[in-house]
Amino acid sequence: MTLTATKEAARTTRSRGIPYYLSRLLMKAPLHRALVRAAECHLLADIDLPRPLLDVGAGDGIFAWTLFDEQLEVGIDPAGASLREALPLGMYRNLAQAFGAPLPFRDGTFASILSNSTLEHIPDLDPVVAELSRVLKADGVCVLTVPSDMFLDYTLGVRLFRALRLRPLANAYARWFNRISRHHHCDPPDVWRERLARAGLGLVEWRYYFGKAATGAMDASHYVGAPSLLTKRLLGRWALWPGKVRFIPLGRWLSGLAQPGASDAGAYLLLVCRKTQ
């Protein structure tokens, strides 16, 4: 049995001109997060994920709630507060507070693993990737999304300072953005191929996604959407009024940005692997 994401018909559904995934994300998530997660939804909706499935880095559950129309077996995250937010969304049969290494599951428990924009936050990746391989069945599927080696070069701040020939400021902005994003890894495909191979995971397909314009808009929307950070801290919600999506200006323009884009260059990487040993 395979896990199906929301149906193709849903992907073409629009709310006042805004496509389904972006519209659904904006009901619960800030704009910067919604843009890139919508692009990831478009990519992942086309990938079959055999059951049972482990979601590594489930967070607050908004991504799974957007992408899938049926429950996932297990979601894990080290942040207990995020898991408490995910619980009422009902997208997981089981939620567990756990780090990537060790994982509290027997060998070969899962037929597939999904980890969306999570592994870049882990300093020592080899033990975590080894654990993913251990709990995956033979020939199981492991799907990862992570920032790429182009991520920082595509941010609006870095591009702006470089255009003004202020390279020290561009470098400082890159370091600052990586720090606030809690990124320890923004690696090219070859580095990921070697890292996965050491754990017995063969990289069978990969592509870049999220181009310069989209990444620049995502970067800028951090500042435009700063009030949502305040509401999150004070009230525990990114969006106070889910119906706001119907009144968001520039909806058509935003919809064009919330797409995967070209596969040969982008701020993020989609990696599809199979267990080889």
Q: How far apart are CA 175 and CA 181, in angstroms?
A: 10
- Residues in CB range of 101: below 8 A, 6 or more apart: 127, 128, 130, 131
Instruction: List residues bridging with 205 in a β-sheet.
Output: 272
Band the pLDDT of 92: cuts 50, 70, 90: very high
Residue 255's CB is within 10 A of a number of other CB atoms, namely 18
Q: What's the predicted TM-score (pTM) here?
A: 0.89
Greater model confidence, 240 or 44:
44
pLDDT tens, residue by residue, 20-57: 899 899 888 888 899 999 999 999 999 999 999 999 99
Q: Do strands 268-275 and 49-50 pair parallel, antiparallel, or not at all (unpaired)?
A: unpaired
The proportion of the chain whose per-residue pLDDT surpasses 70, expressed as a percent, equals: 83
Closest CA to 25 of 81, 15, 153: 15
Q: Where are the domains of the chain?
A: 2-148+186-275
CATH number of 2-148+186-275: 3.40.50.150
Q: How far apart are CA 214 and CA 212, in angstroms?
A: 5
Closest CA to 252 of 15, 18, 14: 18
pLDDT tens, residue by residue, 66-91: 999 999 999 999 999 999 999 999 99
